[in-house]
Structure 1
Amino acid sequence: MASLKIKKGDTVKVIAGKDNGKEGKVLSVDAKNHKVVVEGVGVVTKHTKPSAANQNGGIIQKEAPIDISNVMLVHNGKTTRVGFKIEGDKKVRFAKSTGEVID
């Protein structure tokens, strides 16, 4: 399976969908289904029953996963595409707009 270009902890900008233009930090990545959860993006309301964890139940708001193709990495304040290159013996991500290594 190919490496995903977005990782947990990255700052991304939504480029498509109802939250177009919003920025946030990636909370989790589901590589198998190509989905990401971004804080403050794709918020849905969920009705919960009372349980041991949540005594009162009620209506909660949480982020829903969005497709990874609808987000773009933000590097130095600008959105950029991501590429891979080999440096020494490590495979690293780099910003295609500037050529800088991301990690």
Structure 2
Amino acid sequence: MASKIKKGDTVKVIAGKDKEKEGKVLSVDAKNNKVVVEGVNMVTKHSKPSAANQQGGIIEKEAPIDLSNVMYSAKGQAVRVGFSVQDGKKVRVNKKTGEVID
């Protein structure tokens, strides 16, 4: 099934501890219905020193958030996304204004 949220989209969090925050989608896990959003759901990880990370220590990174807790954001407003066929191609459409997203 085609996903309504894709990598690179700007989304707004509609539920959870980071409600009302906006950010860019870094990755989408369609199998588990999870997305990683820039600056949202930050967690601290303890990392051991390694070849890649000489220092080690505590790092902050984004954790996945459920897909149902985010909505596509257009001009700072959360909007629903639908699908439409135009010129024989399936495209995502902003349901509020009817304009094509991609």
TM over 0.5: yes
Q: Distance in 1 between matches of 2:76 and 2:36?
A: 20
Deviation (angstroms), 1:89: 1.1
> Is 1:5 aligned to residue 4 of structure 2?
yes
Q: Distance in 2 between matches of 1:42 and 1:4?
A: 21
RMSD: 0.6
> Is 1:99 aligned to residue 63 of structure 2?
no
Match of 1:18 in 2: 17
Give the number of equivalent residue pairs. 102
Q: For residue 13 of structure 1, give the secondary structure of its aligned residue in structure 2.
A: strand
Residue by residue over 1:20-44, the C-alpha shift from the partner in whole angstroms, topping out at 9 and shown as x without a partner, is 0100000010111110000000000
Residue by residue over 1:55-88, the C-alpha shift from the partner in whole angstroms, topping out at 9 and shown as x without a partner, is 1110000000000100000113321000001001
Q: Distance in 1 between matches of 2:54 and 2:78?
A: 42
Q: Distance in 1 between matches of 2:75 and 2:41?
A: 24
Match of 2:48 in 1: 49
Match of 2:30 in 1: 31
| Runs of 4+, deviation exceeding 6 Å | none
Q: For residue 33 of structure 1, give the secondary structure of its aligned residue in structure 2.
A: coil
Q: Distance in 2 between matches of 1:3 and 1:16?
A: 23
Q: For residue 69 of structure 1, give the secondary structure of its aligned residue in structure 2.
A: helix
Q: Distance in 2 between matches of 1:77 and 1:13?
A: 8
Q: For residue 6 of structure 1, give the secondary structure of its aligned residue in structure 2.
A: coil
Amino acid at match of 2:35: V
Q: Distance in 2 between matches of 1:77 and 1:101?
A: 17
Give unpaired runs (5+ residues) of structure 1: none
